[in-house]
A and B are shown apart, each in its own frame.
Chain A
Amino acid sequence: MSAYTPTYDKPLPEIDPYSEGYWELARAHRLSVQACRHCGHLHFPPTPVCPACLSDEQDWRPVSGRGTLVSLVTFHKAYWDGYRNALPYHVCLVQLEEGPLMVGNFGGGAVPDGVKAGMPMRATFLDATPEISLVQFVPA
């Protein structure tokens, strides 16, 4: 677990009624996806109704945090001022074992040794602010 940084200046989420359940669980270091109460469809990020059956009765379901690496990119351009001193930085894409794709960063910031598609990963969290914890992925 990382200590929170008082000077955190990177983009923070805009929390709305559809995503607040996700961010509450993230604060407790639980990764979750949206689950339809009616048909069980799992998806992420949140949608106001289930894209499979259109029900508006949905919950946030904690997931294992296990998945496989799908892809990664390295930013050499800062699209926000808060990233100017953080270049280059990496973004990864992980397919959770429950199905949905999730975007994250690598825990510790560096690309894992021997990185390749299909690599097993597991979720950890970075406490960006007292309210916001961001999912990160490290080799499982």
Chain B
Amino acid sequence: MNPMQALSRRIAVVGVGNTAYGDFPARSDYALGAEAFKAALDDCGLDKRAIDGLLCCRVPFYAQMGETLGLNPRWTVTLPGHGRMSGMAVIEAMLALETGAADYVALIYTNVGRSRRMNYGGGESASFWDPWGLTSPGASHGLMFRMHMERYGTTTRQLGEVSVAFRDNAILNPDAVMRKPITLDEHASVRRIVEPLGLYDYCLVNDGAVCMILTTRERAADLRKPPVLIAGVGARDAFERSAIGNFDPDFWYGEVREAGTQAYEMAGVGRDEVDALMCYDNFTPTVLFSLEGLGFCERGEAGAFVEGGALGLHGRLPTNTDGGHLSNSYMQGWALNIEAVRQLRGECGARQVADCEVVQYVAATPCTRSIIYTRS
């Protein structure tokens, strides 16, 4: 049994908000964070004075965020701008709410990487391997995918199925950065970045901010919209094998399996009850690794699983219905978590998954996390 079982469906997401996504050189992290926070407050109808917990992720300085928002919380946490942090942050907030360390937690994520021209490699992130020219998370995923190709016969065209499905989803999302259709042939012919990966296997780099407001299920009952419940969570880190950043020789298979199993058990749902998957897609191979780890297909068969639009809105497993990091926005998992909430509320318009009752978030990374959100 999941040792966190007692927290199942105790904590609710009551408010979500986001800014526009794009290139905003004139706007600071704090301006973007404040906009997302205001949107999330409006979404749940809370007065900002009720917020007594503040979690900042990628925000340069939590105190300046609090100053900007005029908050004096009794619980404040700051997390770095790593993609793996969003699921970790939601779990931290759950614990704070359950223990009474805070009654209403605002989780704020900001990102100005586009307008400040971040490269995600080279001198920005020095490592032991620089003298051999190995740098960037994309290269690590290229190394892993090449291994997957050799072991299982997976093809780069199957990665294209992921890109095309998420782009097709993004076309239905008015907030998405990339809304021009792409084809499998364009995925194959677009410029290579770190082969075997090309441009359309990489996430976007854009500015923006996301806010989520969480409270207990009891307090949620008084707020504007029906709560979305955190039914299950799962976690496993893999630091022992992390000598090459963002690389794992086993694609975090065991960690994803373990985190997924914890989440399913805690939520009391099976993977076949998942109506939509929100899958961390920093690079297309991560999606294949996640599908195999969670058991949506057998090991080595994710390439075949994603063929024929399986991850599209009307496919067998609607995934990243907002377009994900590949086509919606590089909000490092945060936009996927608010998409889960909006799908369960039925707010997604043209991209709404019919009868959506169970949505799973997963991030296959050195800190693997999965969260299952439900309506009841």
Residues of A whose CB lies within 8 Å of any CB of B are 10-14, 19, 43-45, 51, 70-77, 79-80, 83, 86, 88-89, 91, 93, 101, 103-105, 116-117, 128, 132, 134
Contacts and interface: CB of A to CB of B under 8 A. Distances in A.
A10 B131 contact: yes
B240 A71 contact: no
A74 B131 contact: no
B146 A71 contact: yes
B195 A105 contact: no
Interface in B124-150: 126, 128-136, 139, 142-144, 146-147, 150
B139 A73 contact: yes
Given A73-B142, A75-B139, A79-B119, A103 B194 contact: no
A23 B150 CA distance: 33
B221 interface: no
26 contacts: A11-B130, A11-B133, A13-B128, A13-B131, A44-B243, A45-B243, A71-B144, A73-B134, A73-B139, A73-B196, A74-B192, A75-B139, A76-B191, A76-B193, A77-B193, A79-B133, A80-B122, A80-B123, A83-B133, A88-B192, A101-B243, A103-B132, A105-B132, A117-B150, A132-B131, A134-B132
A128 B131 contact: yes
Contact of B131 (A12, A73, A75, A79): A12
Contacts of B196: 73
A70 B147 CA distance: 7
A30 B193 CA distance: 33
Contacts of B143: 70-73, 91, 93
Interface string B185-198: 00000011111100
A132 B130 CA distance: 13
The 10 closest A-B pairs by CB, nearest first: A79-B122, A74-B195, A11-B130, A73-B142, A79-B121, A117-B150, A45-B128, A71-B143, A76-B192, A71-B146
Contact of B146 (A12, A72, A83): A72
A70 B249 contact: yes
Given A45-B243, A91-B134, A19 B195 contact: no
B42 to A, nearest CB: 41
